[in-house]
Structure 1
């Protein structure tokens, strides 16, 4: 595909971007909408699961499809991904409970993993590493466009219409994307026949699922040393060792272990893991801070988040052009990670008095750094391995990044809930001690308010207590202020943790990521003995 005429390449890129736009719009529209959806369906204790399940299923799909697309081509998996994603979106809109929504988001994740994995791999088929920078910038712009309009539209929908339309409004884009891929994307016939590693695929799934479930449930549903969590870790360890043993023996492994002998490949994926943990774990809770702590409406929350994506698009575009022009990437990666750390550290200092302007400036910092650094580690992996491994290598980047994101969201969610509860209980005890004549009934009402979900609909809460005497109503308002402060305190800890994690990625990049020249052709093996050593797989 690299030798196709440019006009043909542009047509293929347009079809790929149509598929990405459909998937991205359906993903990004959920962020600012979810607080209101939770207020309707309930189940805030499962808040992080709406994101976790998507990343879990998409991570599994991405790595499995990566290898299959190397064998059978990218086209069938993009089409299948669009179909599965569309079904998942339709079902999400008819959810009657938070558990149903989580299950249907899992279906979306299966489709989304196929789309994203094959889309970014297809760009690698069309262009050599030296030219991919600017095209990845364009791809990021498409995702950024969805990230700008998705949250804003999502907030507007839940403020003015029923939240079901959040999942249904872009379904027509799915049909358009499907037809565009079907008619414009070329089918590639695989000359060599390879066996499918079913055993390895199953063992990889049995390694990842219990691992992610253990991090999600530990500290929330179960204690860290409970039989359930220990059992899940045990299953993970056993499945992992069986997976390693299997991959060493099969002729066509789902995840070739020899690739990890390549230092650039291994270090880039580890950095991607930290990047995913810090980014997803921190940014996912930003809409909750804006709406719950700052009291901004869902619609305005989308506008506050918008600068992050605009800055991300600008950073990615500029970074891609610089990489294509210079062939260098390490300094850009360090710059992007440093800017991200600065932005997340600033987020740590936000509180109940923070204005939208301050939040926007912090979003610009995080978005700029993210845009500069995020695409680079896909490029470093693709450049470090042979082209025949492009699909599985690209999907491995997504695997580690989303694995980090899932674990990051789960751990930060657990820490946030525990921190919020402790802070709220401590502050309400002080309030009770300083307030005379607190009735047992009022004590029960305090327990009822010990849920950050009430901050998303304070008007309805105050209306519920409107019949109380003025002094009791004033007491309720004080409790709500304590809850706001407790949520701010808890989220600040999450943002600081994110900054530390991204700081770790910065140090790994600085000390361990070696910069090797970007190939100018997909057919190019190596240009020197040094590059040969770096790219050697076995």
Structure 2
């Protein structure tokens, strides 16, 4: 599609951006609203599953669609992704319990994975690597803009409307995006010589599912050393070995292993994995600090995260233009990653809202500088016919990092919270229920669950039912819960910062090659015989 006129390309990009914004806004609008939704539906123990199932299904659909879109083109998959997302969002609003919510969010995840994989790859189809920097910055700005209005709008909806509208309010935008893609996106003929790797797709899925289930359940539902967790990890290893065996023998592998002999692809994907593990695993719990520890309403909770999104939008847009102008990208990652670490460290020690806002600004600056880089590095290092599968590999590692990070951070938080409560009780900070009236003790027992901190209207309502002489005990109990929650969140944010430190160090190992000005790979060697990372020669200047 590189031969299309610039005007046609920009028009197609408008359709792609509309589809991406539809998926992105439906993800960010949930962040501040989810604690209240969980408190209404119940099932605090399954909180991470609402996020994990979304990441799980989006991860699987992303990697499978990568190769298929190389064969059939991007258009049918973007359209299918929008349909899945609309159906999932519509059904989610009818959830009666946490398990229905998890199921329907899984359907949404399928759609999101398809949309994201197809959209980022389509940019590679339309533009040469040198031009992609600008458009990658625009797409990152779309995510940032959705992050600006999404959390605030989600908080406002659960404060002033029925929570179902969190999932329904943007459904008309999905229909508009579907129509735009249908009308504007050009159809691509199938590559007749390509076959579909069904067995590879099956065993790749059988690798991902038990792996993520193992990380999600370890330390919460089952002990890390339990037969169930060991069995899941063992199943993942066996499926991975079978998958690798299949991929070395099929004609058209769903995930070519040769891709990972490319050093730039491998290093970029590992950085993406660690970055998303640290970032998603920690940021998903930021509303717990704002709403649970500081007692801020969901509406105003969105304002706390807004500075991160604004700074990310500004920086990612600028970085995209700078990359397109200079053809250089590594420097932005070298600067951005340490700034992200600094932001995460500030989160670990924040004890008030202004400090939380500062951490968001710092983290957003680092995110805007570093995030646009690693999709470009992967796409620039492979041949055009591998664009879909290479982009899918990048999305796969990021999604795996985010999913595993959320699960592991959830385990860290739950363990730390339990230890903090036990430590408080052992030091005399707990409440001796045996000395209270049985009816009052029964009422107060509800406040032993930190989930109560996230539903402030219910908290205030229950407090009003308590006798005046019990109010000081109630206040002490709530303070104890908030201290325990704050302590556990410090551990979570420090763990996220540690992962980002490792990712920052790996950036030094990333080899920088010039961004090509055409989608065609070079065919001439330079005087010294220099070659691209995948073995193709570099054009002589």
1-structure distance, mates of 2:150, 2:274: 26
**Matched residue, 1:47:** 47
Compared with structure 1, are the counterparts of its residues 87 and 244 closer, same or farther at alpha carbon in structure 2 (3 Å cutoff)?
same
2-structure distance, mates of 1:338, 1:319: 16
**Matched residue, 2:312:** 312
2-structure distance, mates of 1:205, 1:402: 14
Q: Greater shift after overlay, 138-147 or 253-262?
A: 138-147
**Matched residue, 1:194:** 194
**Matched residue, 2:474:** 476
Query: In the comparison of the two structures, how many residue pairs are matched?
Result: 534
Name which of 417, 422, 425 aligns with 1:425. 422
1-structure distance, mates of 2:465, 2:85: 48
1:412 aligns with 2:406: no
**Matched residue, 2:11:** 11
2-structure distance, mates of 1:476, 1:99: 32
Q: Greater shift after overlay, 30-39 or 442-451?
A: 442-451
**Matched residue, 1:269:** 269
Name which of 356, 359, 377 aligns with 1:359. 356
Compared with structure 1, are the counterparts of its residues 9 and 437 closer, same or farther at alpha carbon in structure 2 (3 Å cutoff)?
closer
**Matched residue, 1:340:** 340
2-structure distance, mates of 1:524, 1:458: 58
Question: 1:205 aligns to what SS in structure 2?
Answer: helix
Q: Confirm or deny: 8 A CA contact 2:297 2:456 kept in the other structure.
A: no
Deviations 1:135-182 (A, max 9, x none): 111111222221111111111100000000000011001110000000
Compared with structure 1, are the counterparts of its residues 150 and 228 closer, same or farther at alpha carbon in structure 2 (3 Å cutoff)?
same
2-structure distance, mates of 1:291, 1:139: 30
Q: Confirm or deny: 8 A CA contact 1:343 1:366 kept in the other structure.
A: yes
**Matched residue, 1:369:** 366
What does residue range 218-297 of structure 1 map to in structure 2 within 5 Å?
A: 218-297=218-297
2-structure distance, mates of 1:537, 1:378: 20
**Matched residue, 2:484:** 486
Task: Please give the TM-score of this superposition, normalised by the length of structure 1.
Answer: 0.96
**Shift of the alpha carbon at 1:458?**
4.0
Question: 1:172 aligns to what SS in structure 2?
Answer: helix
Q: Confirm or deny: 8 A CA contact 2:35 2:455 kept in the other structure.
A: no
**Matched residue, 1:56:** 56
2-structure distance, mates of 1:154, 1:72: 37
Deviations 1:421-459 (A, max 9, x none): 110122134346797973384666665323221112345
What does residue range 172-191 of structure 1 map to in structure 2 within 5 Å?
A: 172-191=172-191
Name which of 429, 446, 449 aligns with 1:451. 449
**Matched residue, 1:327:** 327
**Matched residue, 2:395:** 398
Compared with structure 1, are the counterparts of its residues 443 and 334 closer, same or farther at alpha carbon in structure 2 (3 Å cutoff)?
farther
**Shift of the alpha carbon at 1:367?**
1.0
Q: Confirm or deny: 8 A CA contact 2:315 2:368 kept in the other structure.
A: yes
Q: Confirm or deny: 8 A CA contact 1:275 1:502 kept in the other structure.
A: yes
Q: Confirm or deny: 8 A CA contact 1:204 1:239 kept in the other structure.
A: yes
Q: Greater shift after overlay, 222-231 or 527-536?
A: 527-536
1:21 aligns with 2:18: no
What does residue range 152-163 of structure 1 map to in structure 2 within 5 Å?
A: 152-163=152-163
Compared with structure 1, are the counterparts of its residues 531 and 269 closer, same or farther at alpha carbon in structure 2 (3 Å cutoff)?
farther
2-structure distance, mates of 1:436, 1:106: 41
Q: Confirm or deny: 8 A CA contact 1:516 1:531 kept in the other structure.
A: no
Compared with structure 1, are the counterparts of its residues 75 and 462 closer, same or farther at alpha carbon in structure 2 (3 Å cutoff)?
closer
Task: Please give the TM-score of this superposition, normalised by the length of structure 2.
Answer: 0.95
Compared with structure 1, are the counterparts of its residues 459 and 194 closer, same or farther at alpha carbon in structure 2 (3 Å cutoff)?
closer
1-structure distance, mates of 2:420, 2:411: 14
**Shift of the alpha carbon at 1:313?**
0.8
Consecutive unaligned residues of structure 2, counting only runs of 5 or more, are none
Q: Confirm or deny: 8 A CA contact 1:386 1:525 kept in the other structure.
A: no
Q: Confirm or deny: 8 A CA contact 1:421 1:450 kept in the other structure.
A: no
Q: Confirm or deny: 8 A CA contact 1:262 1:537 kept in the other structure.
A: no
Q: Confirm or deny: 8 A CA contact 1:259 1:537 kept in the other structure.
A: no
Question: 1:32 aligns to what SS in structure 2?
Answer: coil
